[in-house]
């Protein structure tokens, strides 16, 4: 029987099935998978107000604040999240093992109690910002980990040290103590409806933190259909790049030994970037060494600098000493926002200076005033949308570029991996 060229070019049934399977797999790889989980909550009848036992994210806690949190309660989450090296420790793993023993003891004693069923957790942060009362809401859930290039994308570079620290803690504790902060492209009406429904009931947990931000959380049934709208969303890491990178490494370690398991997912707070419009504060650059170029128009003081800086128009400010006098200037860059990317490309990356970082403009100015720095570059706030535009161009922001604020509180809910 003769076979025509057209018939020869037709794929077999097995080839079609294999190709469809690959296409489905590729689609799944680009769609975030969301699921509920059994969370651990503090038993307030044993620990008292949540203000005493919860904490800000580990990488924002300064030494003096850590001491205050430790003094607040023997069950404060920093005892697990931010262990310290003690005299007599025989190796670097000691502080992580101590945290694991403490975590196990809290569970055995009922300090931490599990939710009765796998659940989602609606989360709200209420605060004052730029003279207005605002809120940012999202959903705490499990998100399936993806290698870079899928539907979860980073926007900042990471550093090796913090990743190693978080990995050692994860190996010891086998738990997510805090939520990675993700923003989805939005708008996501199903998520908004779910959060509206939760807000109409009494919260499961609430507290007011050191900055006056009110945190509230509700338990949501694991079968709630409002979550479905999240499954079509692309997500960007707003805060937690080091923890996400760590989670990928831990997943790979555990898969090599045991195959798939709970390490394939990580706890995250998912926020609709369009509907909620979370504030993105700047992290200012402080030049510890190096001579900055003298650019821009001189202005009166720090207050005027902060009034003039503008992300959309690429206006930034500087503080430096000129002939022994503290001088404030504002200058405009050429390029496209956000400012932090263009500032590094046009100025900072050419200087190759030693740089320190702070979200506090007054502190940056003070470092220059007292001679601990040669200059400070003061940046404007930006938006999640502008950050996402950088990601969509296939680029990343410099490290320590953004400060999504406020951030979810560590210890409101804990996710054990078993």
For residue 238, give the H/E element and its range.
strand 235-239
Asked if 387 and 328 touch (Cβ cutoff 8 Å), the reply is no
How would you write 390-412 as a 3-class SS string? HHHCCCCECCCCEEECCCCCECC
Measured CA to CA, the distance from residue 288 to residue 325 in angstroms comes to 18
Alpha helices in 3-158 (DSSP H): 5-9, 13-29, 44-47, 63-72, 78-81, 94-108
CA quadruple 23, 29, 31, 36: dihedral sign:
positive
Q: What are phi and psi of 356, to 5 degrees?
A: -110, 165
> What is the residue extent of each domain of the chain?
34-43+97-279+405-416, 282-380
| pLDDT at residue 23, rounded to an integer | 41
Note the Cα 190 to chain centre separation in Å.
23
Q: For every one of its 418 residues, what pLDDT tens digit does the chain have, with 9 covering 90 and above?
A: 343 333 334 555 555 444 444 344 433 445 578 999 999 999 999 999 999 999 999 988 988 999 999 999 999 999 999 987 777 666 667 899 999 999 999 999 999 999 999 999 999 999 999 889 999 999 999 999 999 878 898 887 788 889 999 999 999 999 999 999 999 988 899 999 999 999 999 999 999 999 999 999 999 998 888 788 887 788 999 999 999 999 999 999 999 999 999 999 999 999 999 999 999 999 999 999 888 888 999 999 999 999 999 999 999 999 999 998 999 999 999 999 999 999 999 999 888 668 999 999 999 999 999 999 999 999 999 999 899 889 888 888 888 888 899 999 999 999 999 8
Closest CA to 57 of 235, 203, 242, 216: 242
Residue-wise DSSP of 158-194: --HHHHHHHHHHHHHH-EE-S-EEEEESS--HHHHHH
Residues in the chain: 418
- Residue 215 tokens read as 């945190």
| pLDDT at residue 91, rounded to an integer | 67
pTM of the full structure: 0.85
């Amino acid at each position: 029987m003769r076979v025509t060229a057209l018939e020869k070019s037709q794929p077999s049934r097995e080839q079609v099935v294999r190709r469809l399977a690959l296409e489905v797999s590729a689609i799944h790889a680009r769609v975030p998978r969301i699921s509920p989980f059994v969370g651990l909550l503090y038993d307030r009848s044993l620990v008292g107000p949540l203000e005493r036992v919860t904490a800000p994210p580990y990488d924002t806690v300064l030494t003096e604040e850590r001491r205050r949190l430790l003094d607040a309660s023997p069950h404060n989450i920093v005892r697990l999240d931010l262990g310290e090296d003690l005299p007599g420790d025989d190796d670097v793993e000691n502080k992580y093992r101590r945290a694991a023993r403490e975590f196990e003891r809290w569970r055995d004693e009922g300090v931490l109690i599990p939710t009765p069923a796998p659940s989602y957790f609606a989360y709200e942060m209420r605060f004052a910002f730029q003279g207005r009362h605002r809120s940012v809401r999202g959903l705490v859930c499990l998100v399936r980990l993806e290698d870079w290039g899928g539907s979860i994308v980073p926007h900042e570079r990471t550093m090796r040290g913090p990743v190693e620290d978080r990995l050692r803690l994860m190996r010891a504790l086998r738990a997510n103590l805090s939520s990675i902060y993700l923003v989805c492209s939005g708008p996501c009406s199903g998520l908004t409806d779910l959060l509206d429904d939760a807000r109409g009931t009494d919260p499961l947990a609430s507290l007011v933190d050191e900055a006056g931000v009110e945190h509230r959380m509700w338990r949501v049934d694991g079968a709630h259909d409002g979550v479905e709208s999240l499954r079509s969303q692309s997500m960007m890491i707003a805060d937690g790049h080091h923890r996400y990178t760590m989670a990928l490494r831990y997943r790979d370690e555990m898969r090599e030994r045991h195959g798939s398991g709970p390490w394939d997912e990580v706890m995250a707070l998912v926020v609709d970037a369009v509907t909620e419009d979370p504030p993105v504060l700047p992290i200012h650059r402080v030049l510890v060494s190096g001579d900055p170029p003298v650019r821009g128009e001189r202005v009166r003081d720090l207050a005027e600098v902060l009034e003039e800086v503008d992300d959309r128009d690429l206006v930034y400010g500087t503080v430096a000493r000129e002939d022994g006098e503290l001088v404030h200037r504002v200058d405009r860059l050429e390029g496209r926002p956000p400012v932090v990317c263009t500032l590094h490309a046009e100025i900072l990356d050419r200087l190759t200076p030693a740089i320190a970082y702070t979200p506090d403009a007054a502190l940056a100015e003070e470092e220059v005033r007292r001679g601990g720095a040669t200059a400070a570059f003061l940046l404007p706030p930006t938006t999640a949308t502008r950050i996402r535009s950088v990601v969509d161009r296939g680029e990343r922001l410099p490290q320590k570029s953004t400060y999504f604020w406020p951030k979810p509180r560590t210890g409101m809910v804990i996710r054990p991996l078993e």
